[in-house]
Amino acid sequence: MATPLLILTILSLVAAGIDAGHNVTISLLDSAIARGADGTPPAYAYSPGFGDGVDNWHVFLENVDDCLNRCRYPLGSSAKLISTKNGSVPFEGMLNNNSTFNPDFYNWHMFKIFYCDGSSFMSNVEDVDTKHNLTYRGARIYDAMMEELLPIGMGNAKNALLSGTSAGGLATILHCDKFQSLFHKTTRVKFVSDTGFFVHGQDYLD
């Protein structure tokens, strides 16, 4: 059963073209208080909306919890993220700007906030962890990003979507009320938490 299905999937992908996405430049938010886990400024990538999508905003959260290990790598360090990715990342899936692959959101403003926080954007600790030389200021990163987005148009959004995958999906659950409170009553605000709920239990990999 699996083989014909796989072939069918591959054929339909070939017929439709490959969802390769468009490359979007990674930028740093050089605000003084917001810092990623390794002390580098937090990173984002922004693809502006167009056509009848100009009043619609999609904020996507990428995030991990294993701060200590991952901050040594691109997932937790803006500096390493930019050097490893050569300065840009592909926007795919719900971030794709081609209506064939992303019919509902392709022309929305799309704003991806990267890893580098380590706590689902909840931590707000002034002191640097001296043992590991890490900074836990995710809540400040989230706030600084929102402050950046509201004046450039998100404050008057007709539709606003907060989404995230994995730990970013957890961050979406944790931030949804706070996100909704940024908007006028007339703005339609929705959330997509993709694999964002973690059950307390033994890890199946253990």
Ligand X SMILES: *[C@@H]1O[C@H](CO)[C@@H](O)[C@H](O)[C@H]1NC(C)=O
DSSP string for 71-113? TTSTTT-HHHHHHHTTTEEEE-GGG---TTT-TTTTTSEEEEE
Q: Report yes or no: 173 and 107 within 8 Å, Cβ to Cβ.
A: no
| Binding of ligand X by 25 (CB under 6 A) | no
Strands 56-61 and 159-165: parallel
Q: Report yes or no: 145 and 42 within 8 Å, Cβ to Cβ.
A: yes
| Binding of ligand X by 133 (CB under 6 A) | yes
User: What's the min distance (Å) between Cβ of 17 and ligand X?
Assistant: 2
Q: Of 146, 163, 195, 196, which is closest to residue 31 (Cα–Cα)?
A: 146
| Binding of ligand X by 104 (CB under 6 A) | no
Closest CB to ligand X among residues 119, 187: 119
Closest CB to ligand X among residues 115, 191: 115
Spell out the residues 6+ positions from residue 175 whose beta carbon is closer than 8 angstroms to its own.
61, 121, 142, 162
Spell out the residues 6+ positions from residue 30 whose beta carbon is closer than 8 angstroms to its own.
41
Residue whose CB is nearest to ligand X in the complex, by number: 39
Beta bridge partners of 188: 159
User: What's the min distance (Å) between Cβ of 125 and ligand X?
Assistant: 14
Question: If residue 47 lies in a helix (H) or strand (E), which one and from where to where?
Answer: strand 43-47
Task: List the x/- string, 78-97, binding to ligand X by CB under 6 A.
Answer: -------xx---x------x
Phi/psi of residue 23, each to 5°?
-85, 135
User: What's the min distance (Å) between Cβ of 186 and ligand X?
Assistant: 28
- # residues contacting ligand X (CB under 6 A): 13
| Binding of ligand X by 48 (CB under 6 A) | no
| Binding of ligand X by 23 (CB under 6 A) | yes
User: What's the min distance (Å) between Cβ of 132 and ligand X?
Assistant: 9
> Which of 7, 8, 9, 17 forms a contact with ligand X (CB under 6 A)?
17
Closest CB to ligand X among residues 100, 156: 100
| Binding of ligand X by 39 (CB under 6 A) | yes
Closest CB to ligand X among residues 75, 170: 75
Residue ranges in contact with ligand X by CB under 6 A? 17, 20, 22-23, 38-39, 85-86, 90, 97-98, 100, 133
